[in-house]
Amino acid sequence: MNPPAGPATPHRGGATVEFQHVTKRYGPVTAGPGAVNDLSLQVPAGKICVLVGPSGCGKTTSLKMVNRLIEPTGGRILIDGADVAAEEPTALRRRIGYVIQQVGLFPHQTIGENVATVPRLLGWAPARQRERTDELLALVGLEPGLHRDRYPYQLSGGERQRIGVARALAADPPVMLMDEPFGAVDPIVRERLQNEFLRLQKGLAKTILFVTHDIDEAIKMGDLVAVMHSGGTLARFGTPSEILADPASDFVARFVGADRGLKRLSLTRVRDVPLAPALTAQPGDDAADARSRVAADPFGHLLLVDALDHPIGWLDPRKLPTSGTLETSMAVPMSPLLEPETTLKDALSMLLDADVQAGIAVDPEGRVLGLLTVDTIAGLLNRR
Amino acid sequence: MSGWDWIASHLTDIAAATRDHVVLTIIAVGVGFAISFALALLIHRDRRAYAPVTAVAGLLYTIPSLALFAILVPITGLSVLTAEIGLVSYTLLILVRNIVAGLDAVPPEAREAAAGMGYSALGRLLRVELPLALPVIVAGLRIATVTTIGLVMVTALIGEGGLGQLMLRGFTLQNYTAVYVGTALSVALAVAADLLFLGALRLATPWRRARER
């Protein structure tokens, strides 16, 4: 994906969004599903705030009150300090991006027309609409020439979701509302869309309110997570690591799950933790010398690498010849290769799958950075 | 005089009858559509209007056409107005039902996305809901038009009737050529109207045409 560029995206970054004692009741007495009870929270500009909770907890209602698809019973919602209730709803909605689970592309319009919806409503000149459309298609990883004139049903589910995001970004809104935007695709595509979107958001820095019922998605996508309770109350609001480290209530602890220690691992990446130095040798090195080096090493394993420091395989110290030189053929299959961006949760899973004690961390060029051991990960789990 | 000679010597009459038939049909379907469209929008805004509107339209639909004209003639005379009141009445039930069904068939997520992106209510209706409802609306127009082309025949009894006049005179004068010509042309009109609507729908909905491939 290309970074957004050009005069069509003049201002990046988001606006603050603030809920002040927002309440929505659907009946005079009972709260009912979808109700919201005295919700107050502040999302700083450029952050993703995930609203998560069981169904009927009012997360979608909260989202729809921001662009006034639903009007609150009480309280205020401010965008950059301005009350949304003071603005004409259609004008307000045109400067807030909106993505829904079923995407809601207009089946009778081409992809290009779909993406240009808000620019068209805002009365942009056709040439500018077209330029912006092509820019956005490229941004979400779809070739403009190939997709612009096609119809929504001609796309895969993942492509439709991307178009949904592109359409919401069209007029460069400072705030985006996303209601389970990746909910309608299979897990593999969802994972890819999540990663793409996070990469995109790094350049765009929109303020995003993101609704999901999936705590794993909340932890992955959110700078901030608001856990909501049935009845529309805010149970916990904080960063993912704060919430995982201290759920603060039984409800939140149960909701984030018994594996919250493991989930914490998904917040930390290989580049964030100290790696054990790898004991390495190259083919052609003296075998006796290698044996003595291994004997002195606490980990007791020797990694064979090539001249460029790319790992070849492990050498079993007991099977090393007493004389002569090291050969490539002596190396046994490798531990998993871990990249700096790999989460510790994924790393641990790979180590357990491969039934080894250590993974080899490599840089993007494939050179050995060091070793990540199961002990290191266990140590991190025990801390805090 | 052979049948072909009769046709050859009455081309002007046949053309005039055909033209009258087409005009009566267009007025009936046009006015019927305008009324039905307004009623359907009312129902779209407020569902409670559905039952009473379709009840009245249904009642009109069940009145036998001859009986309806018998009621109207003392009031509006043997006139085009009388014929059209009857013809329009018979289109309402089909058209109202189809327009409402078409609007109901608009995917709710498309409607929600349109609202969420800042379409006004009118803009959403014109740009999103009606284009998506078009196939079902046109299906209604096809049925209403073909039905009307048949019913126009009956209005011959009150002095209108287009091709119906031709047939009525044929029966009276035992000129079966005129009867056959009237029958053939009315069938041809119905088929032509149907194909015209189908063709127009295909042109207006390239997004559906592409789907068929």
Option in B118, B123, B205 nearest A108 (CB): B205
Option in B113, B205, B211 nearest A100 (CB): B113
> Closest approach of chain A CAs to the CA of B108, in angstroms?
8
The whole-number pLDDT of residue A2 equals 42
- Mean pLDDT estimate for chain B: 91
From A260, A293, A315, give the residue that closes a domain.
Answer: A260
Based on the domain organization, do A100 and A221 belong to the same domain?
yes
pLDDT-derived band at A346, boundaries 50, 70, 90: confident
pLDDT-derived band at B105, boundaries 50, 70, 90: very high
From A234, A260, A286, give the residue that closes a domain.
Answer: A260
Q: Which residues form the domain of A277?
A: 271-382
ipTM of the complex: 0.82
Based on the domain organization, do A147 and A256 belong to the same domain?
yes
- Which of chain B's residues have a Cβ under 8 Å away from the Cβ of A149? none
Which of A163, A207, A209, A208 is closest to A184 using CA atoms?
Answer: A163
Decide: A152 and A162 in contact? Cβ < 8 Å.
no
> Closest approach of chain A CAs to the CA of B137, in angstroms?
15
Give the C-alpha separation, A116 to A106, whole Å. Answer: 12
The whole-number pLDDT of residue A30 equals 61
Query: Which residues are within 8 A (CB) of A133 and not within 5 positions of it... i.e. 6 or more apart?
Result: A112, A115, A116, A119, A144, A148, A170
Which of A249, A234, A230, A170 is closest to A206 using CA atoms?
Answer: A170
CATH of the domain at B111: 1.10.3720.10
Q: Specify if A8 maps to a domain.
A: no
At A34-89, the pLDDT tens digits run: 899 999 999 999 999 999 999 889 999 999 999 999 999 999 999 999 999 999 99
The whole-number pLDDT of residue A4 equals 42
Decide: A301 and A344 in contact? Cβ < 8 Å.
no
* pLDDT(B113) > 90: yes
Based on the domain organization, do A218 and A354 belong to the same domain?
no
At B182-194, the pLDDT tens digits run: 999 999 999 999 9
Based on the domain organization, do A231 and A313 belong to the same domain?
no
Decide: B21 and B186 in contact? Cβ < 8 Å.
yes
Within 10 Å of residue A71's Cβ, how many Cβ atoms? 11
Q: Which residues form the domain of B122?
A: 3-212
**Ramachandran sector of residue A3 (left: φ over 0; alpha: ψ -120 to 50; beta: rest):** beta
The whole-number pLDDT of residue B44 equals 92
Contact flag B123-A102 (C-beta cutoff 8 Å): no
At A93-104, the pLDDT tens digits run: 999 999 998 889
Q: Give the C-alpha distances (Å, rounded to integers) separating A176 from A15, A209, A215, A234.
A: 10, 6, 20, 21
Query: Which residues are within 8 A (CB) of A16 and not within 5 positions of it... i.e. 6 or more apart?
Result: A42, A43, A44, A45, A78, A79, A80, A81, A207
Q: Specify if A7 maps to a domain.
A: no
Contact flag B117-A167 (C-beta cutoff 8 Å): yes
Q: Give the C-alpha distances (Å, rounded to integers) separating A325 from A100, A278, A284.
A: 63, 20, 5
Decide: B111 and A105 in contact? Cβ < 8 Å.
no
Would you state the torsion angle of the CA atoms of residues A69, A75, A80, A86, taken in this order, to the nearest 10 degrees?
60
pLDDT-derived band at B90, boundaries 50, 70, 90: very high
Q: What is the DSSP letter of A286?
A: B
Residues in chain A: 384
Choosing among A70, A90, A106, which should be mutated to test the B contact, i.e. which has the most B CBs within 10 A? A106
Domain count, chain B: 1
Domain count, chain A: 2
Give the C-alpha separation, A84 to A66, whole Å. Answer: 7
Interface residues of A toward B, Cβ cutoff 8 Å, are 67, 69, 89-94, 98, 100, 102-110, 117-118, 121, 151, 153-154, 167-168, 177
* pLDDT(A1) > 60: no
Give the C-alpha separation, B9 to A383, whole Å. Answer: 107
pLDDT-derived band at A29, boundaries 50, 70, 90: low
Option in A90, A107, A121 nearest B110 (CB): A107
Based on the domain organization, do A134 and A218 belong to the same domain?
yes
CATH of the domain at A199: 3.40.50.300
Based on the domain organization, do A104 and A137 belong to the same domain?
yes
Q: Specify if A11 maps to a domain.
A: no
At B16-51, the pLDDT tens digits run: 999 999 999 999 999 999 999 999 999 999 999 999
The whole-number pLDDT of residue A13 equals 73
Q: Specify if A10 maps to a domain.
A: no
CATH of the domain at A363: 3.10.580.10
Based on the domain organization, do A201 and A97 belong to the same domain?
yes
- Which of chain A's residues have a Cβ under 8 Å away from the Cβ of B211? 151, 153
